[in-house]
Amino acid sequence: MQKDYDPKNIEPKWQRLWKDINLYKAPERPKRKFYVLEMFPYPSGKDLHMGHLKNYAIGDAVARIKMMQGYDVLHPMGWDSFGLPAENAAIQWGIHPKEWTEENIKGFKSQLERLGISYDWDRELATSSSEYYKWTQKLFLILYKRGLAYRKGAWVNWCPSCKTVLANEQVIDGKCERCKSKVEKRKLIQWFFKITDYAERLLKDLDKLRGHWPEHVIKQQENWIGKSVGVEIVFKVGDIPLKVFTTRADTLFGVTFISVAPDSEIVEDILKNVGPETREKIIDYINESLIKSPEEREKGKTGVFTGLYAKHPFTDEEVPVYVADYVLGEYGTGVVMGVPAHDQRDFEFATRYNLPIKIVVFPEKNEGKDFEEFIDAMCEETESEDYSFEYKGKRYVFKPKRAYEKKGILKNSLKFTGLSSDEAIKRIAEELESKNLGGRKTAYRIRDWLVSRQRYWGAPIPIIHCPKCGEVPVPEKDLPIILPHTENFLPKGRSPLEDIEDFINTKCPKCGSDAKRDPDTMDTFVDSSWYFLRFTDPKNDEDIFDPEKANLWMPVDQYIGGAEHATKHLIYARFITKVLYDEGMLEYDEPFANLFTQGLVLKKFWWSPVHLKSFPNPEDVEYKDGKPYLKKDGTPLEERVEMMSKSRGNIVPLGPFVDRYGADTARVAILFAAPPDMDFEWTDATSTAAIRFLNRVWRVFYELHEEGIRPVRVIDHQNLKGEDKEFVLKFNDLIDGIMKDYDKFKFNTAIAKLMEGLNEVDKYKLSKEVLGWFVDNFIRLLAPIAPHLSEELFHEFSMDEMYGKKSVFQTPLPQPLKGLKKESVEIGVQINGRFRGRITVPFNASEDKVLEVVKGDERLRRYISKGIKKVIYVPNKIINIITV
RNA sequence: GCUGGGGUGGCGGAAUAGGCAGACGCGCCGGACUUAGGAUCCGGUGGGGUUAUCCCGUGCGGGUUCAAGUCCCGCCCCCAGCACCA
């Protein structure tokens, strides 16, 4: 055995072995399957950095643990290689997206191989290859056939910088999630997937995932779906029924106006029923409001009166109808009833346009917190006795200052007066239903998924537009619709494919006449919404996948990825899985049985608000009075700790690190730094611990090897004595703890326990047998975390011969020994609840025995001289003695 | 504003199920080896202190309990997500 740890030499050696023995090849027919999957990456460059590694290190540890637990593991990897950044980079570097993408894939792959991650590369796929997107197109057709893919003209999010539409999920704070430009609204004809049809199931089935997915992801999805149970109420404007959705039907008698969203469909009906002057006014208003940013809309609640009046379903009173842009066209019915007294938004609108305010919900009691809040919102202090009432020595008169939004007791509400809000909602809904003027209704916040994009680098939508037959799906036999090669892919606000004559012009598959292809490509989230299914049958050239194979492996037993996909990829994938379940292709309707979301790897850098760029290199920075300045010109900087990314420049590249310290060191560093689900900042200290630890492992094992220690599989653990026994007891607890940590992905504490084990073995004088037992166990415990080093030691100690296996990963993980008996144990002593010392007593000693020891202890005796009143004894843990 | 997560040494972080707070590591201090530096090894390291068989200590204030980082009530702060959703 070599004296020094030399990862450069040993790592490629074992990577070769693993390849030669097909260690990672998933069997066709698994007996005990385990499907572990990391979210596949977008190949954004040629080089990986530490931020990337975390995801793969966790997945690899899980895969290896499962291998050693005897599972047939499926652990595939692929590339989410379609998408906007390929074009942007292509524009920047003047290289075609296809070429750029292929080069990056090569780079990523070779680095993943260099890390020795346990992928079954035979199943590799890339969403941008026609062998893959052929089936993305088929998926589109399946949805189309089921009525779940449709085209409509709608006000959609438009990113002026990316020059394409965006799904709701890709707009953050009114900005494009990629380029941060302000998103505009445009009315365009676009393709949508009808995810709203699945809203209830997506919500309800979260119950199946509870306990298996992080609670925060489940919560986010719940909020995103946003179910509200309410009441639909019809207000008639002449013959037009204006349907209103509300969760507060109890405030119905406080309605003083109706507001219609400018982008709702019912506006068309309204326009037909007003005079030409008013129509023009309304149209002007609509055009104005739709170019407003969300912030502008929020600031002033504006609207325009339509001149129409709607009839209240119970009082027959006429209330004015407005078009107002604080109402959302896409939510509920796109029409709301204005109840200024009990809704702050309506209140602001009513104040602006001098509309009456009717108070119809009062607090239950004329005192207390709610009542005071009510007075605060609705009343003003007064001196006069007129129309006023007294509370706590002060006189008040009604003068609403803001809305009172709490539930309470109804007043001024005809026969519903006196009911509680909840009771009233129920009764009003029933009554409306019997009058045919509405009833119970559920609204969801989630919108249909906008899937078309006016960009080049994506899967073409498999639809042909025929002047005679209309929309015609491409017959399956004609798939794939190949993305044509062009140098002219620059975004210009409409699809580049539209200008490629050979592509766009085609014949209608139905009638044969001249027709045009749909020019748009699909959102990349469509590609990634089913890739985990393709991995179960990646080479199938007859179908999207063979249901039999998919059902052998699905669902994914452990999915690992970033939390940022909570309301995007993770909800789309659930949706598509349910569609394919309904299509009869899957036996399970949830794709990911267990989800783990890893934390980010952060790194410090300095941002210059003067130069508007980041300075990742500490050498450019100097501190004065604790504040950072740029060395070269003295301008102030801001210290920031954020996610590693190329654009910030704060990356730690993986290549040089692995060259110097080895892949195992990189993995241990990242897994030891913090719990895997937590964000952490990468500093030099992060790697120090890992470098030292692995070197120390090597040295200790080198010495053991030199001393001629041979691994021992079974020891006579019942008959150990002295230090042998003490050590085995201790190390056995560590084995137990590490196994539990592995189950819960707590790799940081597992590594801490391995370190502890290594520290302990040095402290004792041990027999050759026990040292041999330690060698055998330690190597196998370390294997999932530092696979190359462990494999090397496995062979150095001839464990391959002992086990008759070629690789440590074909051997089982250690199990704690059973029936080990501790002779004595140290327990804490409390007197009157205060900690006073610790004593050693026989294992499972009786209370009397322990008291005897306490009484015999010099230091403790004096505390109990007054006499004992009560004793609480927890065997092997603690004794608490209460004195008189 | 709503929802979820969190607040523990100089730092990253441990602590089943209420039972000896600070595992493991980084840093720091001291020592060994060394011409020296690095590497390595050994010891120490929450604060205070009259150095003792002491006191204080897990964001703040109360409470429950023999016993609270852990449970309950009230507050403060940080992070993330959502946010005119009627």
Nearest protein residue to nucleotide B68 (CA to C1' distance) is: A833
By the 8 A CB rule, do A529 and A572 touch?
yes
Nearest protein residue to nucleotide B14 (CA to C1' distance) is: A749
The C-alpha atoms of residue A760 and residue A754 are separated, in whole angstroms, by 10
Protein-covered nucleotides of chain B (CB closer than 7 Å) are: 3-5, 11-16, 19-21, 23-27, 39-42, 53-55, 66-68, 80-86
A760 CA from B43 C1′ (Å): 16
- Close Cβ partners of A400 (under 8 Å, ≥ 6 residues apart): A340, A341, A347, A357, A359, A377, A378
- Residue A196, Cβ density class (10 Å: 0-12 exposed, 13-18 middle, ≥19 buried): middle
Q: What is the pLDDT of residues A608-664, one digit of tens each?
A: 888 888 888 888 888 877 778 898 898 988 888 888 888 788 889 999 999 999 999
The C-alpha atoms of residue A763 and residue A723 are separated, in whole angstroms, by 10
Helices (H) and strands (E) in chain A, counts: 29, 40
The region of weakest confidence among A502-506, A541-545, A641-645, A861-865 is A861-865
**ipTM entry:** 0.93
Nearest protein residue to nucleotide B25 (CA to C1' distance) is: A689
- Close Cβ partners of A229 (under 8 Å, ≥ 6 residues apart): A247, A440, A441, A442
**Tokens 């080198």 identify what position?**
A702
A211 CA from B64 C1′ (Å): 30
A722 CA from B41 C1′ (Å): 26
The C-alpha atoms of residue A494 and residue A520 are separated, in whole angstroms, by 8
The C-alpha atoms of residue A849 and residue A855 are separated, in whole angstroms, by 10
Q: What's phi and psi for A722, nearest 5 deg?
A: 55, -135
- From residue A794, give the alpha-carbon distance in Å to each of A408, A550, A665: 73, 36, 18
Res. A362: pLDDT tops 70: yes
Task: Classify strands A125-126 and A149-159 as parallel, antiparallel or unpaired.
Answer: unpaired
- Close Cβ partners of A832 (under 8 Å, ≥ 6 residues apart): A863, A881, A882, A883
State mean pLDDT over A154-183: 78
Nearest protein residue to nucleotide B86 (CA to C1' distance) is: A246
Task: Classify strands A388-391 and A171-172 as parallel, antiparallel or unpaired.
Answer: unpaired
What confidence score (pLDDT) does residue A211 get? Answer: 84
A39 CA from B22 C1′ (Å): 36
A671 CA from B8 C1′ (Å): 22
Nucleotide lying nearest to A837, CA to C1' measure: B20
Q: What is the pLDDT of residues A111-157, one digit of tens each?
A: 999 999 999 999 999 999 999 999 999 999 999 999 999 998 877 88
**Tokens 């179910």 identify what position?**
A227
Nearest CA among A361, A348, A352 for reference residue A405: A361
Nucleotide lying nearest to A677, CA to C1' measure: B5
| pLDDT category of residue A364 using cuts at 50, 70 and 90 | confident
Res. A172: pLDDT tops 80: no
Provide the b/e sequence for A322-359 (b: ≥16 CB within 10 Å).
bbbbbbebebbbbbbbbbbbbbebbbebbeebebebbb
Nearest protein residue to nucleotide B2 (CA to C1' distance) is: A223
- Which spans in A379-440 are helix H? 421-434
**Tokens 């608490």 identify what position?**
A880
State mean pLDDT over A271-296: 85
Instruction: Name the β-bridge partners of A150.
Output: A192
Res. A562: pLDDT tops 90: no
What confidence score (pLDDT) does residue A295 get? Answer: 66
Nucleotide lying nearest to A298, CA to C1' measure: B84
- Residue A387, Cβ density class (10 Å: 0-12 exposed, 13-18 middle, ≥19 buried): exposed
What confidence score (pLDDT) does residue A232 get? Answer: 94
Nucleotide lying nearest to A248, CA to C1' measure: B86
What's the Rg (C-alpha) of chain A? Answer: 35
A640 CA from B60 C1′ (Å): 29
A68 CA from B1 C1′ (Å): 50
Task: Classify strands A409-410 and A463-466 as parallel, antiparallel or unpaired.
Answer: unpaired
Q: What is the pLDDT of residues A464-491, one digit of tens each?
A: 999 999 999 999 999 899 999 988 887 7
Q: What is the pLDDT of residues A378-403, one digit of tens each?
A: 998 888 888 888 888 889 999 998 89
A845 CA from B86 C1′ (Å): 67
Nucleotide lying nearest to A224, CA to C1' measure: B82
Nucleotide lying nearest to A836, CA to C1' measure: B53
Nucleotide lying nearest to A860, CA to C1' measure: B53
A872 CA from B64 C1′ (Å): 18
A842 CA from B65 C1′ (Å): 28
Q: Rounded to 5 degrees, what angle do the CA atoms A62, A63, A65 make?
A: 65
What confidence score (pLDDT) does residue A719 get? Answer: 85
- Close Cβ partners of A66 (under 8 Å, ≥ 6 residues apart): A34, A36, A73
CB atoms within 10 A of CB A211: 9
State mean pLDDT over A180-203: 88
| pLDDT category of residue A863 using cuts at 50, 70 and 90 | confident
Nearest protein residue to nucleotide B54 (CA to C1' distance) is: A836
What confidence score (pLDDT) does residue A310 get? Answer: 95
Nearest CA among A405, A279, A264, A273 for reference residue A335: A264
By the 8 A CB rule, do A709 and A768 touch?
yes
Nearest protein residue to nucleotide B41 (CA to C1' distance) is: A696
A18 CA from B17 C1′ (Å): 42
Nearest protein residue to nucleotide B40 (CA to C1' distance) is: A696
Q: How confident is the prediction for chain A on average, in pLDDT?
A: 91
Nearest protein residue to nucleotide B84 (CA to C1' distance) is: A326
A624 CA from B57 C1′ (Å): 34
Q: Rounded to 5 degrees, what angle do the CA atoms A138, A97, A653 make?
A: 110
A872 CA from B63 C1′ (Å): 22
Is the bond preceding residue A480 a cis peptide, omega within 30 degrees? yes
